[in-house]
Structures are given as structure tokens and as C-alpha cells.
Amino acid sequence: MILILRLFIVIFLALSSQAFATDPENSRVNQKTAVVVESRPMERRNFTQGLYIFDSELYVSSGQYGKSAVRVYAWPTMTLNRETTLPKEVFAEGLTLLAGRLWILTWRSGQLLILDPSTLEILTTGKISGEGWGITHNASTLWLSNGSSRLHSIDLNNGGKTAALDVTLNGEPLARLNELEWINGKIWANVWLTNTIVIIDPETGIVTDEIALDGVLREEEREASTDVLNGIAQDPKTGAIWITGKRWPKIFRIELENTN
């Protein structure tokens, strides 16, 4: 495992600038609305950046300098099982769990943190170029966002092969891609500073669906410190999709309805 992690660290520094070609003739984007069907309490102290459900636990990476942390909750009871603070010089971003390790991006400190999910101990730290925003995976491949319209991938089981994917909406680049989640063969992404989640075809980079989440968190549930929508997780046991936001008091299970 350590050899694999070292390989990843070295290769990540030289992520390919070559992107997959995208089809300029985009198919129609499906417009969807999220309907809340269930909610559970969420600690407001979580400035949620990454969200992931695995083995009856919910993993949360919480951001901000001097306050970044990882918290693990029993799922779905939301009882806090364990937590750790992260070095004060990092701003924690996206989180995923792959190959028995937690992978946590940091925003501008150029670091990738790799943790033991049981102890939350930092096992190794890698260097990344540019900013880190969101991270997800499919099989042995990690997918990463950096706030631009381009996603990067690296296959840990294929010699560390890297690639880049330009994301487009109606033929135009779609920037501010943030928290990511691989769901049913596609990549779901929060679009920062909006109440929108997009669904991306990982082969073409084309946005196939836009999901409107306006009003999911009611105005009376907001406080002065409540921030934007951010956080997508799929329960692997039920297939249910959960979303939340930065300093939100709840995590919501949503279902989708077509609006076009």
C-alpha cells in the first residue's frame, strides 16, 4: 500500500494537461428538482467540504484554516464516533475512501492528506499542484476537481495513469465544480455558490442533468453563519442520495423529479 501511495504522490505532480475530447453538439440537459423525503440532524460546526458513507459510517471533512477536521458519525443515527483536528495550516476540502485509506484534499496548501479511517491518523502527506476542491472515486480511479471546469483522474491500479476531462454545459465550460460523488456511473458535482448539482458523463464531460435544490434548507433553519450547499453522498446499502451544506443543521435525503 505504501508503494502505491508513493506512486500516486509522484504522478499527481505531473497530472496530464491533455483532456478528453468533448462533443460540441450536446444533447438536451435534463432539468430536475430535488424533493426532500427525509432529514437527519447535522452538527452545525461542520463547514462541510467532503461527505462519504461507508460501512455504516458517515465521513465528513470540515474546512477552514485552524478549524479543519474529520468527523465520523454512526450512520444513520448520526452519533459522533470519532474525530480529529487537522494541521492548522491546511484548509480541508473533499474527502473519499479508497483502498482502505481516507484521501483528503486541501485548498491552497499544496497537500494531499492520506489517513487511516479507523484511527484518523495522518499516514502520509503528498504534494499537489494548484488548488484542491472535490474528490471521489470509481473502482481504482480517483477523480479530482480544482474549482475550474476540468476534472482530473488517476487510476491507482493502472500504473497511476492520469487523464483530464473538460466539463461542458450546453457546449460551454462549466467552472466552480466542487464536491464530487460517483453515483450510478456518473459524476455528481456541486457548483460552488449555487443551489445546483450537475450530473456529468465521465466519458464525454457533458452535463446530462441539472438538479435545482432551492429551498431545501428552509429560511427559518438558517443562521448568520450558514453557508452554501455542499456535500453529496450515496448510501451504498440503500442507494439513497443525501446532501447537505456548510454549517447546515441537517442532512437531507432527496429524490429527483423531472421538470422538462
> What's the pTM?
0.92
Per-residue model confidence (pLDDT) at position 4:
46
Per-residue model confidence (pLDDT) at position 256:
95
Per-residue model confidence (pLDDT) at position 240:
98
Per-residue model confidence (pLDDT) at position 158:
82
C-alpha cell at 226: 450558514
Per-residue model confidence (pLDDT) at position 22:
47
Per-residue model confidence (pLDDT) at position 25:
52
Per-residue model confidence (pLDDT) at position 188:
98
- Which residue ranges make up each domain of the chain? 18-258
Per-residue model confidence (pLDDT) at position 27:
67
Q: Say which amino acid occupies 239.
A: G
Q: Which fold has domain 18-258?
A: Neuraminidase (2.120.10)
Q: Which residues of the chain fall short of a pLDDT of 50? A: 1-4, 6-7, 9-22, 24
Per-residue model confidence (pLDDT) at position 222:
96
Per-residue model confidence (pLDDT) at position 259:
87
